[in-house]
Amino acid sequence: MSVQVHLMFLGCVLLATLAQNLTGFAFGLILLGMVASLHIVPLGDVAIIISILTVGNALVTLGGPKPELDRGVLMPVLLSSLLGVSLGMWGLGAMNESQMAWLRLLLGCVIVIGSLLLVVQSKPQARVSGQPSFWLSGGLCGLLNGLFSSGGPPLVYHLYRQPLGYEVIRNTLITVFAANAVTRLGLVTAQGQLTLPVLWLSLEAFPLVFVVSILMRRFPPKLSLRAVRWLVFGLLLLAGGGLIKDALPSVLMLT
Exposure class string for 3-35: b at 16+ Cβ within 10 A, else e: eeeeebbeebbbbbbbbbbbbbbbbbbbbbbbb
Q: How many residues does the chain have?
A: 255
Give the pLDDT of residue 74.
92
Residue (of 115, 122, 120) closest to 231 by Cα position = 115
Give the pLDDT of residue 182.
92
Residue (of 209, 149, 188) closest to 9 by Cα position = 209
Q: What is the pLDDT along the chain (255 residues), one digit of tens a residue?
A: 788 889 999 999 998 888 777 766 778 778 887 887 788 888 778 888 988 998 887 888 777 677 788 889 999 999 999 999 999 888 877 777 677 778 778 877 877 877 787 677 556 678 889 999 999 999 988 988 887 777 777 787 788 778 888 778 888 888 898 899 899 899 889 888 888 989 999 999 999 999 998 888 788 777 775 676 677 778 778 777 877 887 788 778 766
- Cβ atoms < 10 Å from Cβ of 2: 7
Residue (of 217, 255, 220, 251) closest to 104 by Cα position = 251
Long-range Cβ contacts of 92-99 (<8 Å, 24+ apart): 92/44, 92/146, 92/147, 92/148, 93/191, 98/254
What is the rounded CA–CA span in Å between residue 31 and residue 43? 11
Q: How many alpha carbons lie under 13 Å from residue 178 in its C-beta half-sphere? A: 18
Give the pLDDT of residue 122.
59
Distance, first Cα to last Cα, the chain: 34
Record the pTM.
Answer: 0.77
Burial class of residue 182, CB neighbours in 10 A (0-12, 13-18, 19+) = middle
Dihedral angle of Cα 92, 94, 98, 101, to the nearest 10 degrees: -10
Q: How many alpha carbons lie under 13 Å from residue 69 in its C-beta half-sphere? A: 17
